[in-house]
Chains A and B, each alone.
Chain A
Amino acid sequence: MSKEGNNLSEVDILEAPNILEYPYSRSTGPVIGEFMTKLRDGKIVGARTKSGKVIVPPTEYDPFTSEDIDGLVPVSTSGVITSWAWVVSPSEKHPLSEPFAWALIKLDGADSSMLHCVRAPSSTSVATGKRVKAKFRSQREGHIKDIEFFEIEEAANG
């Protein structure tokens, strides 16, 4: 093979987008299924454990003792931010297109925190301890996205 005809460094490098897609559909099981069904109704339920704690989103068993849960109970659609992180540049897949916060939210009546997004005008309006309320979509289908986002509750008494 001639050296001239075989100059490997002079080749144009090929590039292309490569998109992998997995159209997964998951079975919810009875507990998450009920959680999703209630979200469709614009409500939030948690799992009550035998020790009386309420886990949101509900689990099929007590995460501390592994015992079966005692059933599902309604909790409030409002709660308190327990932890959060500000997203400066949301990606295409993020729930909101403008900057927002991912937050752990402890709903009133719950003993655990749930991850969701908080819409706020800026990061300075988000803080641990701030009260937030779920904003449900008008068209709901039984999915965590039925909650469009949480928004900061106006402080009634300052």
Chain B
Amino acid sequence: MADVEQSEIDPNAPVTKISTPIELKYHFTAGRAASRFMRGLMKKKILGQRCPSCLKVYVPPRGSCASCGVPTEEEVELPPKGIVTTYCIVNVPFYGQKIKIPYVTGTILIDGADIGFMHLLQEVEAEEVRMGMRVEAVWQDDSEMVPGLESIKYFRPTGEEDAPFEEYKEYV
């Protein structure tokens, strides 16, 4: 890539730049818990798992509780709604970017969950996003559903009153 750019300018100019692309090929296996979670998303369901010891609900589930060290076997279906605990406004363009900047990614704490996950926030101006803002999932079109978080197109504000900080301070 960079080599091409350079030689297009002047093939005899001194070399100042080299292209050194890196490619890492992995084969990802989701495991039982995350596989159920991802298949659930295809049916527009958010499936978590509850720890039998501390009763915390994990979304996405990993099959065990990291703090208690026990398997999490009880499945819990949660609503496609929650709050933004923290967020980041992306202003930096980068290679492979698909969304127009500035856009916001947030940590979404689903109602009834004890851990947040990151997702995209849309249908809201970047400067209007705030901690405690209530949001809901916007699902992909049925033909676009995939076993993964991409089945949720993005989260958008519900317009409900913000959650008070006290309600989610443990999760920030």
Contact = CB atoms under 8 A, between A and B. Distances in A.
A36 to B, nearest CB: 4
A1 B74 contact: yes
Interface of B: 1-3, 6-7, 14-36, 38-39, 73-76, 95, 147
Given A8-B73, A23-B1, A13 B31 contact: yes
A16 B28 contact: yes
Interface stretch (A24-32, A60-68, A80-88, A94-102): A24-32
27 contacts: A1-B74, A1-B76, A6-B75, A9-B32, A12-B35, A12-B39, A13-B32, A14-B39, A17-B28, A18-B28, A20-B22, A21-B21, A21-B24, A23-B21, A23-B95, A24-B22, A25-B17, A25-B18, A27-B17, A28-B15, A28-B16, A28-B18, A37-B14, A37-B15, A141-B3, A141-B7, A142-B18
A141 B26 CA distance: 31
Contact of B32 (A8, A28, A37, A143): A8
B38 A20 contact: no
A13 B63 CA distance: 13
Interface string A27-60: 1100001101100100000000000000000000
A47 to B, nearest CB: 16
A15 interface: yes
Given A11-B39, A13-B35, A22 B21 contact: yes
A36 B91 CA distance: 36
A19 interface: yes
B66 to A, nearest CB: 18
